[in-house]
Amino acid sequence: MNYIRTAMLLAAMTALFMGVGFLIGGTGGMMIAFLIALGMNAFSYWNADKMVLRMHNAQEVDARTAPELYRIVERLAKNADLPMPKVYIIDSEQPNAFATGRNPENAAVAASTGLLRMLSQDEVAGVMAHELTHVKNHDTLIMTITATFAGAISMLGNFAFFFGGNRNNPLGIVGVLVAMIVAPMAAMVVQMAISRTREYAADRGGAEISGNPMALASALRKISGGVAHVRNEAAEHAPATAHMFIINPLSGEKMDNLFSTHPATENRIAALREIDRQMGGRGGVKPMAPAGFAATRRNDEPPAAGGTQGPWDRAPGRDDEDDQPRGPWG
């Protein structure tokens, strides 16, 4: 079904792209748009993930440069029966994360430095499990290609705005206005509708993979609050990628509506509470503590007396060298 959905999406976006080309340049413009669309389909399939990572200045890390995050992703990938994805860190104070890649064998997950500073181990595990669900469901291909097409259609709309279009098309000046305004909005609506549907499914999958729905719910609440107060400059310059993040990096929506890129956070948290109830509370699974880490406390427990209040507690018995800042987020 995911491959059928991807094919339908590509056909719809290609048709929309060609329609905008016709409104701008007539039959010749439509043929040029068709050829461009074919090239974009091929290019997006093989390279869109690299483009998105580059747009957000993501840096690849490994078990040496980011041991905590890498081990969490490694454990979750095993839980999900997935190949180990590449792991990236985005140097951004806004807490957020996304996944990309054309298939599970060529996938990548990315988390921001702000997210790693703000969340506990269990919460980070919930977020990464959510992103791995996108990988497992092949959502990353759909979402990455959609981002590429939405950006291209918006670019054509801007071209029509500055240079005008073919006013001899069947719709005349109305057709030019459609190319300028309606087509980019239509691409945005398709993009957002896909994102909203897939986010609920990824929340459920993330809860099942991590075994801790309420840790993911807590993470969503913290991320939503952080996004509302911290601007993400890279996302502002590449708004077509907004639907790829776990929480919309551009703005916080209060309700599920036609123009929201994500479901409302409160609705997602309510759904996770129901999943937690169905799983018997905390999913009936001990909170995840990857090898080399101490088990983290419950999300509603206060820190132990004298305990650390940094992003993640240290395992007991580590020497002074291990207490030094590690990983790109320090």
**Positions marked catalytic:** 131
- Other CB atoms within 10 A of residue 1 CB: 7
HSE-up of residue 303 (Cα within 13 Å, Cβ side): 11
- Which DSSP string corresponds to 73-88? HHHHHHHTT-PPPEEE
- Other CB atoms within 10 A of residue 15 CB: 12
The answer on whether 253 is annotated among ligand-binding residues is no
Q: Is there a contact between 83 and 104 (Cβ–Cβ < 8 Å)?
A: yes
The answer on whether 56 is annotated among ligand-binding residues is no
In Å, what is the CA distance from 35 to each residue of 38, 203, 313? 5, 38, 54
DSSP class of residue 245 equals: B
Helices (H) and strands (E) in the chain, counts: 10, 4
Question: 281: phi > 0 → left, psi -120 to 50 → alpha, else beta; which?
Answer: left
Question: Does residue 249 sit in helix, strand or coil?
Answer: coil
- Which DSSP string corresponds to 90-136? E--SS--EEEEESSGGGEEEEEEHHHHHHS-HHHHHHHHHHHHHHHH
The answer on whether 243 is annotated among ligand-binding residues is no
Q: Is there a contact between 127 and 94 (Cβ–Cβ < 8 Å)?
A: no
Per DSSP bridges, beta strands 107-112 and 97-101 are: antiparallel
**Binding site for Zn(2+): which residues?**
130, 134, 199
